[in-house]
Amino acid sequence: MKRILASLVAAVAVCGIISSAANAQSRSGNFDFYVLALSWSPSFCALEGREKGREQCDGPAKGFVLHGLWPQNDRGFPSNCDHPVRNAPFAVMQQIRGLYPEEGLARHQWRKHGTCAGQTPAGYFAEVKRAVEKVKVPDSLNEAREGGRVSPRDIERRFIEANPGLRAGMVTSTCMRGMLQEVRLCMSKDLRGFVACPDVVRSGCRAQNVSAPTN
């Protein structure tokens, strides 16, 4: 009986440690760096956006658009953190109009990722804007190429050439169902530069070539 009780006490202690670690991971502001995700809009529209009637799929086709700025840890990432403000105020949404392809995406990004940044909605979106302005999308990648196929490695190389300080191991591209999905760049927590992010890069696209739809 004593042995069983001792085992139970040890198990409770371990669960407490795990629970404390999980709470620390979900605490707003507790992260290592940011990931700036830029989505290839025609692929999103072809895969799901047009079918769901998403606003960004109306009108002329867009190239790379902002998906989000995500707090990231060396292993994994926090999401939906405890924060006193769950919904970004209307006034803040007005101030960032045009930053995201549609307002619904901006609101979702705040709830899932912004709440983990340790800032107010206005402060977080100011960081998003600053991150976007620091990254140059190579002009050649936003040019429409009918029925084009691209190499994920070539896309990453072009981003590296266009952005001083960006090197291999700090950027990756993702794909879905044979289509270019997005480019993800790892940036320091203060957004002063780019950082290496092995865990993020490992999750990148492994295909030699993917389709890059243009409409």
CB contact at 8 A, 176 and 149 = no
> CB of 214 within 8 A of CB of 144?
yes
Q: Where are the beta strands (DSSP E) in 123-178?
A: 149-150, 171-176
pLDDT of residue 19: 34
Residue 191 pLDDT exceeds 80: yes
Tens digits of per-residue pLDDT, 107-156? 999 999 999 999 999 999 999 999 999 999 998 776 544 457 899 999 99
- Pair 141, 64: CB distance under 8 Å: yes
Q: Predicted confidence band at 3 (pLDDT cuts at 50, 70, 90)?
A: very low
Domains annotated for the chain, with CATH where assigned, are 31-211 (3.90.730.10)
The number of residues in the chain equals 215
Distance separating alpha carbons of residues 99 and 121, to the nearest angstrom? 14
Which pLDDT score, from 0 to 100, does residue 64 have? 94
Q: Give the pLDDT band (50/70/90) at residue 26.
A: low
